[in-house]
Amino acid sequence: MRRCWVLTSGIAGTENQCLGLAEAMGEEPVVKRSTPASPWRHLPAVPFMPKLGALAAGSDPLEPPWPSLLIASGRRAVGLALGLRRAAGCFTVFVQDPRVAPRRFDLVIAPRHDGVRGPNVVETRTALHRVTPARLAEAGRRFAPDLEALPRPLVAVLVGGASRRHRFEPADGAALGRALAAMAREAGAGLAITASRRTAPASMEALVRALEDTPAQLWRGEGENPYFGYLALADAIVVTGDSVSMTSEACASGKPVYVAPMRGRGSKRIDRFFQGLREDRLIAPFTGPIDDWAPRPPLDETARAAGIVRRHYERWRAAQAAP
């Protein structure tokens, strides 16, 4: 029987990338959230098949019936994925940089800013995601009544927060709020704002105070998440420059995307991501005014990668079935 597993340590960002790839392939994956227990989690990424007690508490069991397709991501999933490939003989795809030789997997799907190279590496311009035209259309219908009182054009604002390399203090929230308020006044626009789990409440409150009388709707984490609805209904999108995933999802919406700078130490890897999208004319810096409201073709890197994986996987299956 054909079975697809998605294997991660349970981090939402990596899991969503794997789910997006599986869904774009037409698979209905079984999600496995598993990590090795100590001391195995500290060992190099060798093929690792867990025995009793070798998985961390709370991990999903990894046992037959085995999948024929395994999609994995995350540093702690590398050894497990290699072990499953050896034990189950499954077609194994690793998403993002595995930090080991790509040839150890059947395919590696890695964004170009990771710099992973190899004959079995599929390079993407953005991170993989779960944004699809169908999902956006359905979310747009569901959330349109909530936003109908806001003036048009409508700007979706995707706010991230502090990370290992970025800072988003209350002063930063206030500065972004003032810039958004000025843009909205000039364009006669409304704002649909959503915060992430990393957005500090004090920083978000400072942003909201700076908006003063600007017509806006803010999602604070209560009730159904309108994130896809905002992407679907916006005429343009402003996203903070700390998040590869939010920027990737914004580019998949087919709307003009503006990136608000974030304070921090920076990262050559993340800088390459944003530089590549700027050179491709897919994003622009948010400096205040928005002067481009024209729709553009969505950048659907997930569907493109899924098509490549599907072709390789079907050839592999045919070879397995051959006498």
pLDDT digits over 184-205, tens only? 999 999 999 999 888 889 999 9
pLDDT digits over 112-161, tens only? 999 999 999 999 999 999 999 999 999 999 999 999 999 999 999 999 88
Residues 217 and 270 in one domain: yes
- Residue 190, SS3? strand
Reported as a pLDDT band with limits 50, 70 and 90, residue 97 is very high
Residues 103 and 165 in one domain: no
Reported as a pLDDT band with limits 50, 70 and 90, residue 27 is very high
Q: What is the pLDDT of residue 52?
A: 45
Please state the pTM of the whole predicted model: 0.91
Find the CATH number of the domain harbouring 34: 3.40.50
Reported as a pLDDT band with limits 50, 70 and 90, residue 167 is confident
The total of structural domains in the chain comes to: 2
Q: What is the pLDDT of residue 47?
A: 56
Q: Give the structural domain span for 139.
A: 133-298
Name residue 81's amino acid: A
Q: What value does the mean pLDDT of the chain take? A: 91
**What is the spatial distance between Cα 187 and Cα 234, in angstroms, rounded to a whole number?**
14
Q: Please give the share of the chain, as a percent, with pLDDT higher than 70.
A: 95
**What is the spatial distance between Cα 237 and Cα 241, in angstroms, rounded to a whole number?**
12
Reported as a pLDDT band with limits 50, 70 and 90, residue 96 is very high
CA-wise closest residue to 17 among 111, 121, 80, 137: 111
Residues 288 and 143 in one domain: yes
Encode 273-298: b = buried (16+ Cβ within 10 Å), e = exposed: bbebbeeeebbeebeeebeeeeeeeb
Q: What is the pLDDT of residue 66?
A: 93
Predicted confidence (pLDDT) at residue 57 exceeds the cutoff of 90: no
Residues 258 and 190 in one domain: yes
Predicted confidence (pLDDT) at residue 264 exceeds the cutoff of 80: no
Residues 257 and 205 in one domain: yes
Predicted confidence (pLDDT) at residue 48 exceeds the cutoff of 60: no
Q: What is the pLDDT of residue 50?
A: 55
Compute the radius of gyration of the chain from its Cα atoms. Answer: 21
Q: What is the pLDDT of residue 181?
A: 98
Residues 47 and 166 in one domain: no
Residues 315 and 272 in one domain: no
| Phi/psi of residue 5, nearest 5 degrees | -110, 140
Predicted confidence (pLDDT) at residue 166 exceeds the cutoff of 90: no
Name residue 134's amino acid: A
Can you tell me the mean pLDDT for 209-214? 94
Residues 148 and 95 in one domain: no
CB-CB contact of 234 with 214 (8 Å): no
Residues 193 and 268 in one domain: yes
**What is the spatial distance between Cα 261 and Cα 270, in angstroms, rounded to a whole number?**
12
User: Which residues have CB under 8 Å from 241's CB, separation 6+?
Assistant: 166, 247, 259, 260, 261, 262, 274
